[in-house]
Chain A
Amino acid sequence: MRSLVRAPGFQAAIALTAAVFLSAFFLVPVLRVFRASVYDAAGTSLTLFNYPHVLSNRFFLDALANSLVIAAAAFVFTIVIGVPFAFCIARFPMPGKPLLLALAALPLVLPSFVSAYALVLMFGRAGLVTRELHAAGIPFGSIYGTPGIVVTYVLTLYPYVVLPTVAAFKSVDVSVEEVAQNLGASPMRTFVTVTLPIVLPSILAGALLVFIEAIENFGVPFVLAEDKPILAVETFKLFAGETAINPAAAGVLGMLLVACTAVALLIQRNILGRRYYATSARRAPPLLPVGPGLRLLASGYCWIVTAAALVPFVAVVIISFLQFNGPVLHYQFSLDNFAQLLGRSYRPLANTLMLAAAGAVLATLIGVPIGYLLARRRSRLTALLDIAATAPFAVAGTVLGIGLVLTYNSGPVILTGTWIIMVIAYAVRKLPFSVRSSAGILHQIDGNLEEASINLGVPPFVTFLRITVPLIVAGIVGGLVLSFVTIASELSSTIVLYSGPWTTMTVAMFQALEGTSAGEAAAAATILIVFTVLPVALVYRLLRRYELSTL
């Protein structure tokens, strides 16, 4: 499409909007965190000693090492679990595949710290299962620290590997596999020497997303780490904790967080950029003719993994309807937990719905035009836009939140403590997804359609409304809903930015967790689950797997 995207005004308007929005609410805040890291504790004089000072501290060094080890473990185990899963789905005859794939993708939209909390409820020190095991005299170790965190990440993040890998296995042109076998390679050899190398970039790209998520996640280690220092949590504590506030050290840790995720994102983009050979299947490979035994095994494996990832969520929902006496659970149906939680105030629920809706709409309004420009016009300007709009993905929510507070708690515009700053943070965090998914949708719509319309006498902007919008609207709505549900369970920037009247459901759950009201926390988690699963189920037909895998 030529005229609309080449109209200087149109392009300039999009670029300018993006530039202003990203500078004010992303670039400047991140630079403010950087600035904090190079000033002394009083914030008055420039210094370079914060970095060596923090890095020579055993505790902070441990935090960095722990975060990297946990993220690396999540990277490896999601591949180990996800790739066979993807292969079975793509190549084995199996009943109920669409349902299986839908359920397998579900953890991506569910709040991962709820899964972590379920783990605590079941296997924690006073967990249901732990007590039963102890009563039966079976010893059971601790799930706190690294093991619990890694298990939670693997169970909630493995779809990041499964979804792109299924697509890649399906997009391998069958003729290249046939050629390998025709040249004398056994099926196993063909898989290792031909199929796997073609699919590998997709696997790695997905697993790097796992790595990034695992580094920046705040809620899971907050629930499960106990005394183990974790980068994202320590950054938060240093900035907004109850004791030992140290903005300079928080700045240094924040920059370390950004460095880890940015490097991973750069590698991921680089791998994706070279993925061209996996996307041109002319004939998809047929399902493998395997015997009933193997088929059963494959089916069983996939269903067990899927179920294992969803069981914690189901458990939380069930527990939320049971009677609590303080921390002690009775196996008796009760709505008390909900009554207590909502009896105090409906505000958190209303806040979550309102803020998530506003954040999702804002991200869509800014992101879709950028995606449109990226899909329809390649230039130096759009390349720059692409980088700028993807960058927020590399910055942990905690760091962005801290940066926003630093930038807008004084000066001409004061936003700290308002709902506006939360909506802005959500929009910035969801912008990469919004841009990517809308560009992805537009890439599949032939630019000739728009040219044909213009050629028939319809001006560019009207063409956009009459041809482009109807073709992309379903995908945009799907993306909007995905943004909504992931914002609703967002925690890492919310925990930094919320203020009393703007407490969200996630914050309410955390407050209940920190107190002793396990029942209220479970009720809050159930409400969150309902408000994520329901919208996604409603628009599931509008969504494409592509969008889930770019979340």
Chain B
Amino acid sequence: MTSISIENAVRTFGSVRAVDDVSIAIRDAEFFTLLGPSGCGKTTLLRMVAGFCDLESGRILFDAERIDTLPPHRRKTGMVFQNYAIFPHLRVGDNVAYGLRARNVPSAERAERIARALKLIQLQGYEDRWPHQLSGGQLQRVAIARAVVIEPSVLLLDEPLSNLDAKLRVEMRGEIRRLQKTLGITVIYVTHDQDEALSMSDRIAVMRAGRVEQLGEPAAIYGAPESPFVAKFVGATNLFEGVVTGRVGDQIDVAIAGGALRVHDARAQAGDRVEISVRPEAIRLLVAGEAAPAGWITLSGTLSGVEYLGAVTRLYVRMFEGAPPLQVAVASAPAGGGEISMAYDPARAVVWTKDR
């Protein structure tokens, strides 16, 4: 049962600040995800916790114990590597036993714990198989078993699913989450895949250029992004830049390139430069003659593209001269095309005021 405090961690590679004064408090038994594009510092941060990357300044604590000064083999973390790192010269059973042997666990207990770990990942009876006889998904599970069998304080997963095919990836998501709940273990999970982060995590830290851009629960990250970067990186969105022209109650009018929008906002004043995000699913298509729901604002434009995605269809609507087409998520593409009218909920738009 371990909580993790990362305090003011800094690491520079050459002239690049890979991790730039990051402080994160991870709760006991939490599934915590570091999410960000490649090069944002998420893997470096994870390797700092494992001990494979030194801190230039700052410190890391497990509960109250400082661990960043310990050598990596004494930190009691279990790490799962992106490429699994299964020892090719050892059988599955010996791979899982590896950490137990290092801890001098008596052989009877060892066998029992290996069997239990293999059962946990649904590979009972695979002890005597060689790694080269296993599929990618099975190797992945052996890597997880090998990490959890030592009952680590913290489980570290470095993009563990990125080498698997799409269907298996979704399956393993659920399996890893179930495992974490069963074991009640604290997890730090690194990924660049927003779907993985949103579906598995208790909380997410979105990272960018070595810093934490936003830290919060998945719903907050998606629904109330604190910056345009987060809005754009987590899910698809329509971003607009503009200048506030006036205020009507709790709504503001914003002049944008080629048109105007009205959105909910409490703070911005006339003259402020703002950025606005409207998610594709916050926009609804209106059938000819249909009225917009109360309080919604209507728009019209020309259909310029249709992308069939299976569960939803994404429409691209040319609305404003000179602006990128608006993305709208609908259940099915409208018949005909050409001029269409839409409505959006001004309360679901997110507004950021830029520095005055």
Query: What residues make up the interface of A, taking CB atoms closer than 8 Å to B?
Result: 2-3, 446, 448-449, 451-460, 462-463, 467, 470-471
Contacts and interface: CB of A to CB of B under 8 A. Distances in A.
B99 A457 contact: yes
Contacts of B190: none
B102 A471 contact: no
Nearest to A457: B102
B102 A456 contact: yes
Contact of A446 (B74, B85, B103): B85
Contact of A3 (B72, B82, B150): B72
B50 interface: yes
B73 interface: yes
Given A452-B81, A455-B147, 19 more contacts: A2-B51, A2-B52, A2-B53, A448-B85, A451-B50, A451-B72, A452-B87, A452-B143, A452-B146, A454-B51, A454-B72, A455-B50, A456-B150, A457-B73, A458-B98, A458-B99, A458-B102, A459-B73, A463-B73
Contacts of A471: 88-89
Given A3-B71, A457-B73, A451 B146 contact: no
A376 to B, nearest CB: 12
Contacts of A459: 71, 73
B78 interface: yes
Nearest to A451: B52
Interface string B47-75: 00011110000000000000000011111
Contact of B81 (A2, A448, A470): A448
B83 interface: yes
12 contacts: A446-B85, A449-B85, A451-B85, A452-B79, A452-B87, A456-B73, A456-B99, A456-B146, A457-B73, A457-B99, A458-B73, A471-B89
A449 B72 contact: no
Contacts of B327: none
A455 B98 contact: no
B73 A455 contact: yes
B83 A446 contact: yes
Nearest to B82: A448
Contacts of B81: 448, 451-452
Contacts of A448: 81-83, 85
A134 B50 CA distance: 80
Contacts of B50: 451, 455
Contact of B87 (A2, A3, A462, A467): A467
| A453, A457, A459, A463 — most chain B CB neighbours (10 Å) | A457
B201 interface: no
B186 interface: no
Interface string B69-111: 0011111111101110101110000000011001100000000
Nearest to B81: A448
B73 A3 contact: yes
A456 B85 contact: no
B62 to A, nearest CB: 15
Contacts of B102: 456-458, 462
| A458, A462, A471 — most chain B CB neighbours (10 Å) | A458
Contacts of A452: 79, 81, 85, 87, 143, 146
Nearest to B103: A457
Contacts of A458: 73, 98-99, 102
| A448, A459, A471 — most chain B CB neighbours (10 Å) | A448
Contacts of B85: 446, 448-449, 451-452
A470 B90 CA distance: 10
Contacts of B72: 2-3, 451, 454-455
Contacts of B74: 457
A447 B295 CA distance: 59
Nearest to B97: A456
Contacts of A455: 50-52, 72-73, 75, 77-79, 147
A470 B79 CA distance: 22
Given A2-B52, A3-B72, A451 B79 contact: yes
B99 A470 contact: no
B67 to A, nearest CB: 13
A454 B73 contact: yes
Contacts of A446: 83, 85
A453 to B, nearest CB: 7
Contacts of A456: 73, 78, 98-99, 102, 146-147, 150
A440 B63 CA distance: 43
| A452, A453, A467 — most chain B CB neighbours (10 Å) | A452
Nearest to B88: A471
Contacts of A2: 51-53, 72
A458 B78 CA distance: 12
A458 to B, nearest CB: 4
B273 to A, nearest CB: 46
A548 B85 CA distance: 29
